[in-house]
Amino acid sequence: MHDKMCNDDLYVPADFELLSSKKLTHRAIMWFYSQVLRPHERSGIIILLVLATILVSWSGFGKIQAAVQDDTIRIAIVKSAPEITVAGDGIVVTNTTGESLSLSIPALIKPVSDGLMVDGQFYKKLSFSSETVVYINNKPYRGSAELSLVDKGILVVNQLPLEEYLVGLINCEISSSWPIEAVKSQAIIARTYAVNRRIARMGAPYHMESSVIDQVYDGSSIEDSRARRAVQETEGEVLTYGGGVIQAYYHSSCGGRTEASENVWGAPLPYLKGVECQYCFSSPTATAWEYKITLKDLEDRLRAGGYKISGLTAIKPGIPNGRGRLKQVLLQATVGSTAVTGDQFRKVVGYGLIKSTRFTVTPGTKKDLLFSGTGNGHGVGLCQWGAKQRAVDGFTSGEILAYYYPGAELKKLSDMN
């Protein structure tokens, strides 16, 4: 089973950052327009701006369309590696200009000051592909693997068909032995998430990480026939809202109610408002958790996380928000008492230990604390264990998704324009 902590990490989605920088640029332009330009200069500027806007939106639209319809995805599978071994049958090797190279396989590649070294030869970049799989450090990957030097180490980007990527991913995020409608739901949200990232990171060296930062992906070794069936039966289907591909966040278990996006990342999204979910309680071991730690060990973790406290005496949960999650946690200490957000507290102590911000704290008898909580993950979007129970209860993948992403519409990528 690979069904826990796959999507447990928190980060500020790139789109939310983009939104605020666009606002700032807009304000600066408006100030320049009203305060600096004279009236006759303004009319000329308006005509130029209209023409430029038409041109930019036309070319931008074309790029977005290409990102929507592209059928491959680029995943960073290894970053800053001190060496990489490449193996496999029928491997085709090319350099930056696409010229074929004859390298002996398996190949051991090492980083040098401005590129890569293999068999005593220098290359700027190398690409390895095969009709079956390419082994990177003994793990099989479909498609091609591109190696380049980044930050003194080797970056490996795996480019492969989006649908093949999804088949490899399913058994990391959930288990393909779950009811097929739950597995199909996972295929659709993973596809939606991937296409959304591909649009957001157009032109970047890769679209996604292979870790909890995006979606956990470990190559083709955990593909199976049920994962392939779920991907094939939902081929090309994504969730949309207002004509755009949504940010389909998901998590392991919500523990009673899913969370609104603004309570985790500060930006509201109409299809991520939070819904009631008692379904994940059918899987108590995946939903309820406890964690015991001494005050001393907790203080060490908090100090390592940058909090200048000493003599930690207690942790006091603040008032839960409307979804039962803690906005604030109070750290009480002889020196340096302070309040932190629930998410910050999880991050500093460890996302895998404090599994959600839905918890209570009980002081123990041995200068220790017992944290008891429900839910695993940030709580935004689909609750995977809840989706499993809904599938057991007879709901289809379309019904499950409509429940967790209210207002979102299922569409085929090929029908989007």
Q: Which of 239, 380, 383, 400 binds Zn ion (CB under 5 A)?
A: 383
386 is an interface residue for Zn ion by CB under 5 A: yes
CB of 356 to Zn ion, least distance (A): 11
Q: Which of these ranges, 56-64, 84-92, 131-139, 379-387, lies near Zn ion under the rule CB under 5 A? A: 379-387
CB of 68 to Zn ion, least distance (A): 30
CB of 255 to Zn ion, least distance (A): 6
CB-CB neighbours of 183 under 10 Å: 27
CB of 246 closer than 8 Å to CB of 189: no
- Give the residue with the Cβ less far from Zn ion, 381 or 386: 386
Q: Which of these ranges, 27-35, 199-207, 250-258, 400-408, lies near Zn ion under the rule CB under 5 A? A: 250-258
CB of 304 to Zn ion, least distance (A): 32
| d(C-alpha 117, C-alpha 313), whole Å | 55
- Give the residue with the Cβ less far from Zn ion, 238 or 383: 383
- Give the residue with the Cβ less far from Zn ion, 169 or 254: 254
Number of residues interacting with Zn ion: please give it, by CB under 5 A.
5
Residues between 272 and 291 with contacts to Zn ion, criterion CB under 5 A: 277, 280
379 is an interface residue for Zn ion by CB under 5 A: no
CB of 254 to Zn ion, least distance (A): 3
CB of 256 to Zn ion, least distance (A): 7
| 141: nearest Cα among 81, 78, 202 | 78
CB of 284 to Zn ion, least distance (A): 12
Q: Which of 254, 369, 408, 413 binds Zn ion (CB under 5 A)?
A: 254
Please calculate the CA angle 34-36-38 and round it to the nearest 5 degrees: 80
x/- track of binding to Zn ion for residues 141-180 (CB under 5 A)? ----------------------------------------
190 is an interface residue for Zn ion by CB under 5 A: no
Q: Which of these ranges, 90-98, 243-251, 252-260, 361-369, lies near Zn ion under the rule CB under 5 A? A: 252-260
- Give the residue with the Cβ less far from Zn ion, 277 or 315: 277
CB of 278 closer than 8 Å to CB of 256: yes
CB of 352 to Zn ion, least distance (A): 19
| d(C-alpha 153, C-alpha 129), whole Å | 21
Using CB under 5 A as the criterion, which residues of the chain lie in contact with Zn ion when the complex forms?
254, 277, 280, 383, 386
